[in-house]
């Protein structure tokens, strides 16, 4: 069953707490639903093998609170202004720590409820252990958002069809796979995507995959919007 999102009164209370400079980390998500919540900029916890992270990292950000029933069932309320630039990436992370060639499988299933307004993408963010390479898988996007780099064409991999972009943010290489149509639920077979980058394109070698993150890269959510992860699983062998 999907978790309940914060009520309007709860959101107003959280906004008021932020406005008066209260200890926002004490603000609560819906009683009787969430087992953990935080409005702290870097609020984090670990639940049943997943690390949850509020992760408000961009400049000009507004208010944001994350709540969780578990590591696989959680949500975010965010009120970021209608300005450019990514404000946050609230996410759940599963640590893999296996090289590509030592993996026999790496899959993930997702089911989300996302707003029809604002500017954001729902995405996986996959890193090698040295943070030299970032692989993003956008399963849906809304508003004025776009990936870094230049288009490398379209490919069908891992059960989905993506437009691929290749670029650099100055610190690491970024490979973005943007689903050609929005999806709010599905299963991604991640390993063929990693092997395509390694073996078909030669963009990296036998990297050790560290983190598989899944969350919402939010540029704007003026007025307060809810992002809900109804279910998320990441599994590897």
User: For 62-93, what is each residue's pLDDT tens digit?
Assistant: 999 999 999 999 999 999 999 999 999 999 99
Range of the domain at 181: 8-236
Helix locations, the chain, DSSP H: 8-19, 190-195
**pLDDT higher than 60, residue 60:** yes
Global pTM value: 0.86
Q: What is the DSSP letter of 156?
A: E
Q: What is the DSSP letter of 223?
A: T
> What is d(CA 109, CA 120) in angstroms, rounded to the nearest whole number?
20
How many distinct structural domains can be found in the chain? 1
The predicted structure's pLDDT at residue 13: 38
2 lies in some domain? no
**pLDDT higher than 90, residue 178:** yes
The predicted structure's pLDDT at residue 29: 44
146 lies in some domain? yes
64 lies in some domain? yes
What are the backbone dihedrals phi and psi of residue 85, each rounded to the nearest 5 degrees, phi first?
A: 95, 140
**pLDDT higher than 80, residue 26:** no
- Mean per-residue pLDDT, 81-109: 98
High-pLDDT (> 70) share of the chain, %: 86
94 lies in some domain? yes
The predicted structure's pLDDT at residue 89: 98
The predicted structure's pLDDT at residue 33: 67
High-pLDDT (> 90) share of the chain, %: 86
Token output for 131: 């943070």
The predicted structure's pLDDT at residue 166: 98
Residues 189-224 pLDDT 10s? 999 999 999 999 999 999 999 999 999 999 999 999
142 lies in some domain? yes
> What is d(CA 177, CA 160) in angstroms, rounded to the nearest whole number?
10
- Residue by residue, DSSP assigns 33-92 as T-SEEE-STT-EEEETTEEEE--B-STT--EEEEEEEETTEEEEEEE--S-SS--B--EE
Residue 147's CATH number: 2.60.120.180
74 lies in some domain? yes
Instruction: Choose between 7 and 179: higher pLDDT.
Output: 179
99 lies in some domain? yes
3 lies in some domain? no
């Amino acid at each position: 069953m999907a978790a309940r999102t914060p009520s309007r009164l709860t959101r107003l209370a959280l906004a008021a707490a932020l406005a008066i400079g209260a200890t926002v980390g004490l603000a609560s998500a819906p009683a009787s639903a969430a087992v953990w919540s935080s409005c702290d900029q870097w609020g984090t916890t670990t639940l049943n093998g997943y690390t949850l992270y509020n992760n408000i990292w961009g400049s000009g950000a507004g208010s944001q609170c994350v709540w969780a029933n578990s590591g696989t069932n959680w949500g975010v309320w965010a009120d970021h202004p209608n300005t450019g630039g990514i404000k946050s990436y609230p996410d759940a992370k599963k640590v893999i720590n296996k090289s590509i060639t030592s993996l026999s499988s790496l899959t993930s299933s997702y089911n989300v409820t996302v707003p029809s307004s604002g500017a954001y993408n729902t995405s996986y963010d996959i890193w090698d252990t040295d943070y030299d390479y970032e692989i993003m898988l956008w399963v849906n996007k809304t508003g004025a958002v776009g990936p870094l780099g230049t288009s490398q064409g379209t490919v069908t991999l891992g059960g989905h069809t993506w437009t691929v972009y290749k670029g650099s943010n100055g610190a690491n290489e970024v490979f973005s796979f943007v689903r050609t149509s929005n999806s709010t639920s599905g299963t991604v077979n991640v390993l063929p995507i990693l092997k395509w980058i390694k073996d078909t394109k030669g963009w990296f070698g036998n990297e050790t995959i560290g983190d598989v993150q899944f969350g919402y890269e939010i540029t704007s959510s003026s007025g307060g919007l809810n992002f809900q992860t109804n279910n998320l699983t990441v599994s590897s062998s």
